[in-house]
Amino acid sequence: MMKDIRHFFSLKADPFPQEIATADLYRLPSLEPMQQRIRFAISMRSFSLVTGDVGSGKSTSLRYVVDNLAKGEHEVLMFTAGSYTMVEFLRQVLLCFGIVSNSYKVPLMMRQIQDQLLEINGRRISPVLVIDEAHMMRAEIFSYLHLLTQYKLDSSPLMSTILCGQEGLIEKLMTPDAKPLASRIMGRSHLEAIRKEVMEEYIAHHMRLAGAKKGVFSDSAIVAIHQGSGGLLRRANNLAKGAMLAASMEKCQTVSSEHVRMALTEVI
């Protein structure tokens, strides 16, 4: 299907791909402030927080920030959270170090993790733990997570941690059990729906990457995509691709608002 769209619009690559190189990402207005907050929290060996609606570009923006950390100075440990028990969560963290654990002893696994962090710190490298979809974590995890970063009580943090998730993550951090962790957050970013002007630039950027030699989307189509997506990037991507398909089926070289409305019937 995408091959047909590329051929019809004379494109060299798929428009609005799910996977895109960091260097090719559109720089959202929120990206630079987010990067500065995270870098500050990392420099303090503390926690930072990234939240936003589904499809707002959290994970993609976070990948940009992580990929642009100074090479040789940081070791990034990244995984996607789930509704894990404490034991399952610690096993996931150990897997980031390449350690497969069948233990059920929480203190033992926490000690193993801290030993690994001490080894990394001994090489003068800063460990950074990145947890995506953190809103899915159970409450018990939030009450223990900050303890992983501690060495000799509260004197020497062993790593910085980035929590990324939907807005429900804030609610979980406001619970009494999570207060010790929440008090350590030194950088908080929230990705909001983008404005119409930014949507126009975003679409133009992706069409240039795909090799478009002329404008494909009419002004009214861009307005319709912005309105139909609510300014959320993932939904905008799907609407844009659906509208291009609708236009190609009608042999129209320009995507109109009517094509976007047709695509809206296919997108949830």
**Per-residue pLDDT reduced to its tens digit, 140-180:** 999 888 888 877 655 678 999 999 999 899 999 999 989 99
* pTM (two decimals): 0.90
Contact 11, 1 (CB under 8 A): no
**Per-residue pLDDT reduced to its tens digit, 103-131:** 999 999 999 999 999 999 999 999 999 99
Instruction: State the pLDDT at residue 53.
Output: 93
Map out the domains of the chain with their CATH numbers: 2-17+194-264 (1.10.8.60), 31-191 (3.40.50.300)
User: What stretches of the chain show up as alpha helix (H) in DSSP?
Assistant: 2-8, 31-43, 58-67, 86-96, 106-122, 139-148, 168-173, 179-182, 196-210, 219-229, 233-249, 257-264
**Per-residue pLDDT reduced to its tens digit, 79-89:** 999 999 999 99
